[in-house]
């Protein structure tokens, strides 16, 4: 499948409105039953690499190959919300927390945010655009998407080595059959989101 190059329409529009530091913001890991939610904020300081796109449209091999090029052409901040924070806050608020941490980790704070989706966190104080499907439209958001996805996947592979019975190295904590089978055999770990209905149901049964 050929991948069409992303344009800089949203970035240029922000620059035309006077912005200097336009940052793409995306997260990964809202839906899994285990593991943290991870966000990335990406500020392009050079041309985006060829083949960049929404992380979901790229193979794991292609995403991993893009990472060194993205780190060379972006200033990057990462943020994470832990399983404990997800359970305490709810997944939406925990996601917003991870996104705030990602922005605060940037070496230069943004004066305009391009945020994937339609949900702006309450802490955002600068001008912003909410872009549904933004990871397939904006190079800045696509860069954040790929970097967040690879970072979280690597973390889940590491957790899979500690807890090998759940298939986290391949399912990233989503509720696949292998994960469900692991839960039935090994039970709930400290890395499971106890506020999520399937895990809560297991604990209450």
pLDDT in tens, 141-196: 999 999 999 999 999 999 999 999 999 999 999 999 999 999 999 999 999 999 99
In this predicted model, what pLDDT tens digit does every residue of 102-118 receive, in sequence order?
A: 999 999 999 999 999 99
- Collect all residues with Cβ–Cβ distance below 8 Å to 106 and sequence separation of at least 6: 23, 41, 43, 75, 76, 77
Distance CA 124, CA 21 (A): 15
DSSP state at residue 31:
S
In this predicted model, what pLDDT tens digit does every residue of 114-133 receive, in sequence order?
A: 999 999 999 999 999 999 99
Mean pLDDT of the chain: 95
87 band by pLDDT with thresholds 50, 70 and 90: very high
Whether 36 has a pLDDT exceeding 70, the answer reads yes
The reported pLDDT for the residue numbered 3 is: 42
Is 181 within any annotated ligand binding site? no
Q: How far is CA 187 from CA 83, 85, 201, in A?
A: 16, 21, 12
Whether 54 has a pLDDT exceeding 50, the answer reads yes
Which domains does the chain show, CATH number per domain?
9-204 (3.30.420.10)
Interval 84-97 mean pLDDT: 98
Answering whether pTM is above 0.75, one says yes
1 band by pLDDT with thresholds 50, 70 and 90: very low
Percentage of the chain exceeding pLDDT 70: 98
Place of tokens 């359970």: 87
Other beta carbons within 10 angstroms of residue 180's beta carbon come to 16
Is 116 within any annotated ligand binding site? yes
């Amino acid at each position: 499948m050929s991948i069409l190059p992303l344009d800089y329409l949203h970035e240029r529009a922000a620059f035309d409105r006077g912005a200097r530091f336009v940052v793409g913001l995306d997260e990964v890991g809202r839906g899994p039953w285990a593991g943290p939610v991870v966000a990335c904020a990406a500020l392009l300081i050079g041309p985006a690499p060829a083949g960049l796109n929404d992380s979901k449209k790229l193979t794991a091999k292609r995403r991993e190959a893009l990472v060194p090029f993205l780190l060379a052409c972006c200033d990057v901040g990462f943020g994470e919300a832990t399983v404990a924070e997800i359970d305490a806050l709810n997944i939406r608020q925990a996601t917003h927390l991870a996104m705030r941490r990602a922005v605060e980790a940037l070496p230069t704070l943004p004066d305009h945010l391009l945020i994937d989706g339609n949900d702006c966190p309450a802490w955002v104080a600068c001008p912003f655009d909410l872009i549904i499907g933004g990871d397939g439209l904006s190079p800045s958001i696509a860069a954040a998407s790929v970097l967040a996805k690879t970072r979280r996947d690597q973390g889940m592979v590491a957790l899979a080595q500690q807890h090998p019975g759940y298939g986290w190295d391949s399912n990233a904590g989503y509720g696949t059959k292998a994960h469900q089978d692991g839960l039935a055999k090994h039970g709930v770990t400290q890395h499971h989101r106890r506020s999520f209905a399937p895990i809560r149901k297991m604990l209450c049964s």
